[in-house]
Amino acid sequence: MDVIALTASDLSVMALLVVGLALLSFRMRLGIGGRLLIAALRTIIQLTLIGLILKWVFGTVSPLWIMLITLIMLSIAGFEVMQRQQRRLSGWWGFGTGIISMFISSFALTVFALHVVISVEPWYNPQYAIPLLGMSLGNTMNGISLGLDRLTDTAWRQREVIEARLILGQPREQAISDIRRNSISAALTPIINTMSVVGIVSLPGMMTGQILAGSPPMEAVKYQILIMFLIATGTGLGSMTAIAIASRRLFDHRHRLRLDRLTKKT
């Protein structure tokens, strides 16, 4: 079955709905109308640019270009993780924690999936590598940012409790252990909720896209299962790594709480 091509006028109709929603939010004084319009504009620009770039990359299968795109995606994701926290680690740590945790989780797991599960040749084939990495990074980024935000905000609000535990002789790992567990749980909750209702309440984007493109439904289902498990594992490992790094950074070598290492978002 041929794919029905969408025209600019078709997309303009949907864009008008977003503009209408923004106008309604202005009228209700929700304070998100401007952000909604900016996000919509960024969606158009960013997806158009990536479409043009991928069209060129798909025609020149090169590991160097794939690595460059990967580094750009990782850098932007690390920046977004830092920006989504009300209180974040100051200096390089705010940016580096997200980068390191996503590299360890999303990047490593995507390479594993390409090599072992899909067995695509070459493994850096952009048709598979970029979409898989993009979906893994995007969802892992959300989980890590939620977990870090819960960790730093709770540590700030419960600083007296943490310091009391330290005074009683508890090491830093024990003094903040319950906050770490709650933060990891918060990071994993969205993907757990998604997996619980997928196929019943919602049809994920990749599966829908493959079906619209003419792939057999069961083949689309198998790829979607792969993606969901990849995202879940990446989010879990990434959030555990990020929270471990951040929670250790909240203390010095003498096990003293150092909330001066946090910067409040303005």
89 and 55 both lie in a single domain: no
Give the per-residue pLDDT at 244: 92
Which among 11, 30, 59 is the end of a domain?
A: 59
80 and 139 both lie in a single domain: yes
5 and 78 both lie in a single domain: no
Mean pLDDT by 10 residues, the chain (266 residues): 73 90 88 89 88 77 80 86 81 85 88 86 80 86 91 91 90 91 92 84 69 74 85 91 91 86 76
67 and 41 both lie in a single domain: no
14 and 96 both lie in a single domain: no
- DSSP letters for 148-216: HHHHHHHHHHTHHHHHHHHHTT--HHHHTHHHHHHHHHHHHHHHHHHHHHBTTTB--HHHHHHHHTT--
Instruction: Calculate the alpha carbon distances from 53 to 48, 49, 71, 96 in Å.
Output: 9, 6, 15, 27
99 and 136 both lie in a single domain: yes
The domain of 79 spans 62-264
**What gap in Å lies between CA 50 and CA 131, rounded to an integer?**
11
Give the per-residue pLDDT at 1: 53
Give the per-residue pLDDT at 252: 87
User: If we measure between CA atoms, which residue out of 255, 266, 252, 233 comes closest to residue 117?
Assistant: 233
31 and 90 both lie in a single domain: no
91 and 181 both lie in a single domain: yes
Give the per-residue pLDDT at 57: 73
Q: What angle do CA 136, 90, 109 make, to 5 degrees?
A: 20
Give the per-residue pLDDT at 206: 67
**How many domains would you assign to the chain?**
2
Which among 12, 44, 59 is the end of a domain?
A: 59
In terms of residues, how long is the chain? 266
95 and 67 both lie in a single domain: yes
169 and 197 both lie in a single domain: yes
136 and 224 both lie in a single domain: yes
101 and 176 both lie in a single domain: yes
Residue 132 · residue 114 · CB < 8 Å: yes
